[in-house]
Amino acid sequence: MRFLDAAYAAARARWQALETSPIPVFFVGAATCGRAAGAGETIERLRGELQARSLEAQIIETGCLGPCSLEPLMVVHKPGAPRICFGTVGPNEAVQILRRHVLGDDPCAEWALGRLDPDSLDGIGAFADHPMMRGQVRRVLKNCGLIDPENVDHYLARDGYRGFLRALEIGGDEVVDAVRRAGIRGRGGAGFPTWRKWATCRETPADQRYLICNADEGDPGAFMNRSLIEGDPHAVLEGMLIAAVALGATQGYIYCRAEYPLAIARLKVAIAHMRALELLGDNIQDSGFSFDIEIKKGAGAFVCGEETALIASIEGRRGMPQPRPPFPAVSGLWGKPTIIQNVETLANLPLILRHGPEWYAEMGTASSKGTRTFALAGKVKRTGLIEVPLGTTLRQIVEEIGGGGSDGKPIKAVQTGGPSGGCIAADKLDLPVDYESLAQAGSIMGSGGMVVLDEDTCAVDLAKYFISFTQNESCGKCPPCRVGTRAMLYLLERIAAGEGQPDDLQRLEDLAVTVARGSLCGLGQTAPNPVLTTLRYFRQEYHDHVEKQQCAAFVCRPLLRHQIDAERCPGCTACIKVCPAEAITGLRGTPHVINQEACSQCGSCLSVCPPIYAAVYRTSGELTRFEERKRKAGAVVADALRPATESEDPEQWN
């Protein structure tokens, strides 16, 4: 069973050659997020500069290393020096790093996030000690950002496919047992023990079983699966092989959403490499195990993340869910026993098989084992893809890894689990992140999206946002979801518009219970969670909307009034020029006035009023909010391509 030996030897040699490369190597994070932050321009400029100087060097496009707010990221291997990871490397920084660090002896400490190798270097700490990395344990993501995801040698050299070889060696029964002892639970949301689902599937007599990888990461605010596939596709594919051995499945499908073109491209390349290594096909290396994988592209339907709807979609039908039971593990794709597993669950399997279940279960809590990746986003200083042991507290994640609220504002709540999850108020931040604790707080672990909210986020508006999402994505099959979410949205819109009735909150709660209990699938059953949790933790805000027509976050537009402070306004006409309603009058040099009858409260005036004047202020109910007046520190750049940085004022956003 040592059929990959030759491939391993070659891969290790190539990897070693890369690690000790006599010419400089630039690893540029070029996943979707890196590209969006400008990695493409960085690479282009770097390539041009290398050519112009006739320098021999290698540029490798990697996946995401995690600290997305610091992208584009670049790891630089300079022969004879430790590898250094640099952040916010635009084209100019790349050229500087080349000149000063690679060709000179200045390690460009101003952009360095840390070194990846143990050898010390003046002024550069270890990357693992960077505040964003310190609290993390990167197991599933161990390759992400460090290897070329389109080069299977890199994966092999770092023990790739050894878990699969082990699975072949020990056989299906033992694999199931290892997964049981590891204690892993599904990472897709519900947290069902993986081995138990497998056992059901194995017990069902059938001539054919299917394995489906659910890469239909539809939760808004979640991007863990995308990053993982883009950065280390083979980890997921190896996980599929292992699950297939355990289940006796012969055909696998990856259902990936069409919004992730790069992930799909990476999977295609990786599957081709698997074929070349004969890791797919009939009777793989005379083991008697046959397996093949096909990619199915989703077409933009959130409900297809639900198991039975996903199956319908793979079968080429409308993606509408079916009542369960029968569960897919008994009767799924084309009526055959089918196991649907989340991307991250699958990527955990090689680790369990390689290192053993005991090693795996070292991390986590009594009932939630292992590590978990989260997509940290929203109003937090350091956004990105992180991985922590289960049981880590929300506070550690948001404050230590995330660095606290963006712009130093206090955190109001953390939203976990997307539209199926809920908001957890700031005073609950010491909650350990495990399946049970989050459920107790009214939320769910969900797929791993974690969106941080601050005082500029309105609880009512957020609930309205999620219900409008689920209402829009409801497939329409069952009335509790179809009609119920619509009725909830109607009430929330009314409250947000300041037209709520005193008993609307009660009505909303009653409806929420009906929708949760009566809906056919997970979409409807969990849709009320965002409403119920915001009602639970921020009820006063709802009351203020209804009774005082007041939105303390200054988000709900019908409850806002924009005004201009005559003493602050020098009459620069900036607001007059942009007002789409032509509601502002005044001559240059005299204070301007907003005609409230004509004003649509769009906030354009607020966003253009120069911070040195900050003359536009807002009122809502009993509240008045002035913007802080600021001295201009350098020109404000209105550049669509530049990502928001920490220093920029998010004040203007609401």
Partner 1 sequence: MRGIEAASAVAEILSSYLPRRDNLIAVLQEIQDRHGYLSDDVLRALAGASGISENEIYGVATFYAQFRFQPPADHTIHVCQGTACHVRGAHRLLHDFEERLNIKAGEITADQKFGLERVACVGCCALAPVVLVNGTVRAGMKPKSVRGLLSQLGHAPNGTEA
Which is nearer to partner 1, 191 or 384 (by Cβ)?
Answer: 384
Minimal distance, residue 380 CB to partner 1, in Å: 9
Minimal distance, residue 46 CB to partner 1, in Å: 20
Could you say whether residue 328 binds partner 1 (CB under 8 A)?
no
Q: How many CB atoms lie within 10 A of CB 287?
A: 14
Distance CA(89)–CA(84), nearest Å, equals 12
449, 480, 500, 528: which one contacts partner 1 (CB under 8 A)? 449
65, 89, 385, 388: which one contacts partner 1 (CB under 8 A)? 385
Minimal distance, residue 102 CB to partner 1, in Å: 27
305, 378, 484, 500: which one contacts partner 1 (CB under 8 A)? 378
Dig out the tokens for 566 from the structure.
Answer: 């005559």
Could you say whether residue 492 binds partner 1 (CB under 8 A)?
no
> Cα separations (Å) of 584 from 74, 562, 579, 588, 616?
47, 11, 7, 12, 11
Q: Is-contact 179 246, C-beta < 8 A?
A: yes
Which is nearer to partner 1, 153 or 216 (by Cβ)?
Answer: 216
Dig out the tokens for 97 from the structure.
Answer: 């790093």
Which is nearer to partner 1, 375 or 583 (by Cβ)?
Answer: 375
Minimal distance, residue 52 CB to partner 1, in Å: 27
Which is nearer to partner 1, 353 or 599 (by Cβ)?
Answer: 599
Strands (E), 461-560: none
Minimal distance, residue 548 CB to partner 1, in Å: 23
7, 28, 37, 178: which one contacts partner 1 (CB under 8 A)? 37
Q: Is-contact 57 22, C-beta < 8 A?
A: no
Sign of CA dihedral 141, 12, 267, 334: negative
Q: How many CB atoms lie within 10 A of CB 538?
A: 22
H/E stretch holding 608 reads: helix 604-608
Residue 176 CB burial class (10 angstroms; 0-12, 13-18, ≥19) = buried
Could you say whether residue 229 binds partner 1 (CB under 8 A)?
no
Contact region with partner 1 (CB under 8 A), list: 14-22, 134-142, 281-289, 464-472: 464-472
Torsion of CA 151, 178, 243, 334, to 10 degrees: -170
Distance CA(104)–CA(99), nearest Å, equals 6
Exposure string over 204-228, b if 16+ CB within 10 A, otherwise e: beeeebbbbbbbbbbbebbbbbbbb
Distance CA(406)–CA(504), nearest Å, equals 34
Task: Restricting to residues 585-614, name those near partner 1 by CB under 8 A.
Answer: 602-604, 607-608
DSSP secondary structure code for residue 281 in this structure: B
Could you say whether residue 465 binds partner 1 (CB under 8 A)?
yes
Task: Restricting to residues 65-94, name those near partner 1 by CB under 8 A.
Answer: 68-69, 71
Strands (E), 155-242: 210-215
Strand 593-594 to strand 561-564: parallel, antiparallel, or no bridges (unpaired)? unpaired
Distance CA(581)–CA(609), nearest Å, equals 16
49, 259, 292, 509: which one contacts partner 1 (CB under 8 A)? 259
Minimal distance, residue 496 CB to partner 1, in Å: 11
Task: Restricting to residues 609-648, name those near partner 1 by CB under 8 A.
Answer: 638-645
313, 396, 437, 529: which one contacts partner 1 (CB under 8 A)? 313
Task: Restricting to residues 402-431, name those near partner 1 by CB under 8 A.
Answer: 415, 418
Contact region with partner 1 (CB under 8 A), list: 191-199, 462-470, 487-495, 626-634: 462-470
Contact region with partner 1 (CB under 8 A), list: 130-138, 374-382, 434-442, 510-518: 374-382
Could you say whether residue 575 binds partner 1 (CB under 8 A)?
no
Minimal distance, residue 338 CB to partner 1, in Å: 13
Could you say whether residue 538 binds partner 1 (CB under 8 A)?
no
Which is nearer to partner 1, 195 or 302 (by Cβ)?
Answer: 302
100, 317, 517, 629: which one contacts partner 1 (CB under 8 A)? 317
Minimal distance, residue 297 CB to partner 1, in Å: 6
Could you say whether residue 507 binds partner 1 (CB under 8 A)?
no
Which is nearer to partner 1, 140 or 462 (by Cβ)?
Answer: 462
Which is nearer to partner 1, 178 or 462 (by Cβ)?
Answer: 462
Phi, psi of 215, deg, nearest 5: -110, 30
Q: What is the DSSP secondary-structure string of 416-453?
A: ESGGGSEEEEGGGTT-B-SHHHHHHTT---TTSEEEEE
Dig out the tokens for 63 from the structure.
Answer: 């996946």
Could you say whether residue 266 binds partner 1 (CB under 8 A)?
no
> 512: closest CA among 490, 488, 546?
488
Residue 635 CB burial class (10 angstroms; 0-12, 13-18, ≥19) = exposed
Minimal distance, residue 378 CB to partner 1, in Å: 5
87, 189, 319, 389: which one contacts partner 1 (CB under 8 A)? 319
H/E stretch holding 42 reads: helix 39-52
Could you say whether residue 306 binds partner 1 (CB under 8 A)?
no
The angle formed by the CA atoms of residues 222, 227 and 233, to the nearest 5 degrees, is 135
Could you say whether residue 218 binds partner 1 (CB under 8 A)?
yes
Minimal distance, residue 379 CB to partner 1, in Å: 6
Task: Restricting to residues 275-304, name those near partner 1 by CB under 8 A.
Answer: 296-302
Minimal distance, residue 35 CB to partner 1, in Å: 7
Minimal distance, residue 352 CB to partner 1, in Å: 27
Could you say whether residue 32 binds partner 1 (CB under 8 A)?
yes
Residues in the interface with partner 1 (CB under 8 A) total: 75
What's the gap between Cα 80 and its chain centre?
Answer: 36
Could you say whether residue 457 binds partner 1 (CB under 8 A)?
yes
Could you say whether residue 108 binds partner 1 (CB under 8 A)?
no
